[in-house]
């Protein structure tokens, strides 16, 4: 018998990584698995998740803040995050709903901080403000060689006839994306209790099972509901 409190706290799970590593697919699949076991859960994303944060998303990803520099963009991402935490993440967790977010604060650390050169003190200060104490319980860092990830993104966009494409961060060159990959791996190494790195260059099904395996081992309330890691 597992010793699990009747009403275990809701969990906050984030997925991070470079472009085209398959985060969104895994977020969707995890939501289905949790719902199937009777956990109430919400799926969200960053930047975004609330109307105000989605407005910031559109502004940044259309390139309208590019000339402001990475520091100002870090502030914009944090402003969006503050609203997201206050309006969606914190209230969901407080009412017992698990939250699964496609990106969160590690993206600011990796993109604007470690890759974009924004001072770590500013990044930390913005985190204190925006997170308001809501650190993820677990963060999956999906790791893949950017050249492979780009090939997948291009194939998908061609398929969807979206060839004009790509938001602005996808346009940076390959060397930049290699530094970004290293940045996410460094963040994971510095936060081993929170971050789990999983190789993303494998089938979506395999990756889904790896994510689930980790969660079953990490959170006893999942196993208590009869979930085994096998499909
Ligand atoms: P995506 O949700 O499609 O991955 O697009 C979001 C883009 O914004 C992606 O290129 C990563 C970037 N981004 C940052 O640069 N900093 C951040 O804090 C977040 C959340 C995203």
Rounded CA-CA distance 103/230 in Å is 27
Structure tokens of 66? 């590019």
1 in a structural domain: no
Rounded CA-CA distance 94/117 in Å is 35
- Residue 15: CB within 6 Å of ligand 1? no
Interval between CA 33 and ligand 1 midpoint (Å): 25
**Which residue among 14, 47, 115, 183 is best mutated to probe the pocket of ligand 1, counting the most ligand atoms within 8 A of its Cβ?**
47
42 in a structural domain: yes
Number of the ligand 1 atom closest to the C-alpha atom of 168: 10
71 in a structural domain: yes
pLDDT tens-place string over residues 106-141: 999 999 999 999 999 999 999 999 999 999 999 999
176 in a structural domain: yes
190 in a structural domain: yes
Number of the ligand 1 atom closest to the C-alpha atom of 105: 18
pLDDT (0 to 100) of residue 163: 45
Rounded CA-CA distance 210/229 in Å is 8
- Residue 111: CB within 6 Å of ligand 1? yes
**Domain assignment of residue 17, given as a range:** 13-223
Rounded CA-CA distance 2/215 in Å is 15
For 217, counting Cβ atoms within 10 Å of its Cβ (0-12 exposed, 13-18 middle, 19+ buried), the class is exposed
Residues in the chain: 231
126 in a structural domain: yes
165 in a structural domain: yes
**Which residue among 21, 111, 127, 165 is best mutated to probe the pocket of ligand 1, counting the most ligand atoms within 8 A of its Cβ?**
111
- Residue 105: CB within 6 Å of ligand 1? no
6 in a structural domain: no
Residue identified by tokens 């100002």 is 72
Which CATH number characterizes residue 83's domain? 3.40.50.300
Number of domains present in the structure of the chain: 1
pLDDT less than 50: residues of the chain:
1, 162-164, 230
pLDDT (0 to 100) of residue 146: 93
> Given 3-state DSSP classes, what are the helix, strand and coil percentages for the chain, each rounded to the nearest 5?
55, 10, 30
């Amino acid at each position: 018998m597992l010793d699990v409190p009747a009403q275990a706290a809701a969990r906050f799970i984030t997925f991070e990584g470079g472009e085209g590593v398959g985060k969104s697919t895994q977020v969707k699949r995890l939501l289905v698995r949790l719902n199937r076991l009777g956990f109430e859960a919400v799926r969200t994303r960053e930047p975004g998740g609330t109307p105000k944060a989605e407005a910031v998303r559109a502004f940044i990803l259309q390139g309208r803040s590019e000339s402001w520099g990475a520091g100002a963009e870090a502030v914009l991402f944090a402003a969006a995050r503050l609203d997201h935490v206050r309006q969606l993440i914190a209230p969901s967790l407080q009412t017992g709903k698990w939250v699964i977010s496609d990106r969160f604060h590690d993206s600011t650390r990796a993109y604007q901080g470690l890759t974009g050169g924004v001072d770590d003190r500013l990044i930390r200060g913005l985190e204190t403000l925006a997170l308001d104490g809501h650190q993820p319980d677990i963060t999956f860092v999906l790791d893949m060689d950017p050249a492979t990830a780009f090939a997948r993104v291009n194939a998908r966009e061609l398929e969807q006839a979206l060839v004009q494409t790509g938001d602005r961060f996808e346009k940076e060159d390959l060397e930049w994306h290699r530094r970004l990959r290293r940045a996410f791996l460094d963040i994971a190494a510095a936060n081993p209790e929170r971050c789990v790195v999983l190789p993303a260059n494998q089938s979506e099904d395999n990756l889904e099972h790896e994510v689930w395996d980790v969660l079953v081992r990490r959170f006893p309330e999942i196993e208590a509901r009869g979930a085994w890691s096998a499909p």
